[in-house]
Amino acid sequence: MIRSKRLQTALVHGEYRAPAGFSACPAPIQRASTVLFENVADLRERGNRWLDRSTYLYGLFGTPTTYELEARLAEIEGGSHCLLAPSGLAAIAMVDLALLGQGDDVLLPDNVYSPSRELGDWLTGKFGITARFYDPMADIAAQLRPNTRLVWAEAPGSVSMEVPDLDAICAAAHRHGALVALDNTWSAGLALRGFEHGADIVLQALTKYQSGSSDLMMGAVITRDPGLFRALGLAHLHLGYGVGVDDAYLILRSLPTLKMRFEAHDAGARAVAAWLKQRPEISQVLHPAFPDCPGHATWKRDFTGAGGLFSVLFDPAYPEAETDRFIDALRLFKLGYSWGGATSLCLPYRIQHMREGWDRPGQLVRFFIGLEDPRDLIADLDQALTGISRS
């Protein structure tokens, strides 16, 4: 081609246009901040449809890469609309700020994800929104107030592992006129169908199983209701939430193996938990698939799997210093927050300081079982437990 533009202009304005018809297995990575319009009429017409996922307005709203991820996540959960957020906590904040205002009341389970608890306290202190905590295993009807607008559920609690009766929570909240938001991260949207049990909004921390590699942060909020989608979309807009398309691509690349990985985590966790249950150092294994875990009957009724996350309570004969020594002696298990990746994790919790009325003795330690061979993980646990038992 004969160059008709000066060099600097040619560096900015290229002539190449991709022909139609290219198709490949991977989702394309399409980055953008500025989105181009055909003319002023096109700009104005698309501006009126800013929430419409069939058009593009600005990179903050999304590109084909993020729109594809939203559509696939909504389909996995059985929803119709999805919005991405920079983290799981950002997604929780988006729901709260979209649906609550000064003078409103929100109920959170007492076993809620700790940053969500802290967010509730912040809303109470800064915005005049009352955030209260309820026993996830009790009837919530008596806890509902005239100004209760939103009820959160977490199934199960990601530290103490109680499995709530989501059907009963949704029924009570809806009779009262309140909405229910479910944090469904523990089941990855695979083992629990939140909308089928009455949830109005389902949330995922994509940082975990959907990513699968412990290398990115993202959250998703999913609903079936167009009115809720618009309210959530306005909060998404005003908060300026955007996600990087490279991270969105990494999750899209991981989705085809999500179910297989989740099932492998599940099988490994059950094997390790069953072994720990036989150890004299452990007084209780808090795994929803085990009959003595609070809410097991509900788990058996509502869930089709369990994933890789569970907790244990040590015998009270082993104080915190000893359980810390046990964790420090582990070689394959790494010390760190989150879960859902290939690497097994272990984390101690001072749960007596986190939960009002917690009366079960013993130090709580949470395990995430990654994709290592469970026999090697059990050998690692054995050598670390043997170390504290000999002391």
Q: Are residues 309 and 233 in the same domain?
A: no
Domain that holds residue 288: 258-389
Question: At 113, which CATH number?
Answer: 3.40.640.10
Determine, yes or no, domain membership for 28. Answer: no
Which of the listed residues 256, 279, 311 is the one where a domain comes to its end? Answer: 256
CA distance 329 to 331: 6
Q: Are residues 328 and 226 in the same domain?
A: no
Q: Are residues 78 and 213 in the same domain?
A: yes
Extended beta strands in 72-211, E state? 81-85, 105-109, 130-134, 148-154, 179-183, 201-205
Extended beta strands in the chain, E state? 81-85, 105-109, 130-134, 148-154, 179-183, 201-205, 219-223, 282-286, 309-314, 334-335, 345-349, 364-368
Determine, yes or no, domain membership for 24. Answer: no
Determine, yes or no, domain membership for 15. Answer: no
Residues with Cβ within 8 Å of residue 264, at least 6 apart in sequence = 371
Confirm if 120 and 152 have CB atoms less than 8 A apart: no
- Per the structure, the count of domains in the chain is 2
Question: At 300, which CATH number?
Answer: 3.90.1150.10
pLDDT of residue 11: 52
pLDDT of residue 168: 98
Which of the listed residues 256, 277, 295 is the one where a domain comes to its end? Answer: 256
Q: Are residues 272 and 250 in the same domain?
A: no
Q: Are residues 362 and 294 in the same domain?
A: yes
Q: Are residues 136 and 184 in the same domain?
A: yes
pLDDT of residue 227: 97
Confirm if 28 and 248 have CB atoms less than 8 A apart: no
Write the single-letter amino acid at 144: L
CA gyration radius, the chain: 24
pLDDT along the chain (391 residues), means of 10: 63 68 81 90 90 85 91 94 97 97 96 88 92 95 97 95 97 98 97 97 97 96 97 95 95 94 97 98 98 97 98 96 97 96 96 77 96 97 90 60
Instruction: Say what the pTM is.
Output: 0.93
Q: Are residues 335 and 203 in the same domain?
A: no
Adjacency order of strands within the sheet including 364-368: 282-286, 309-314, 364-368, 345-349, 334-335
pLDDT of residue 2: 47
Q: Are residues 265 and 213 in the same domain?
A: no
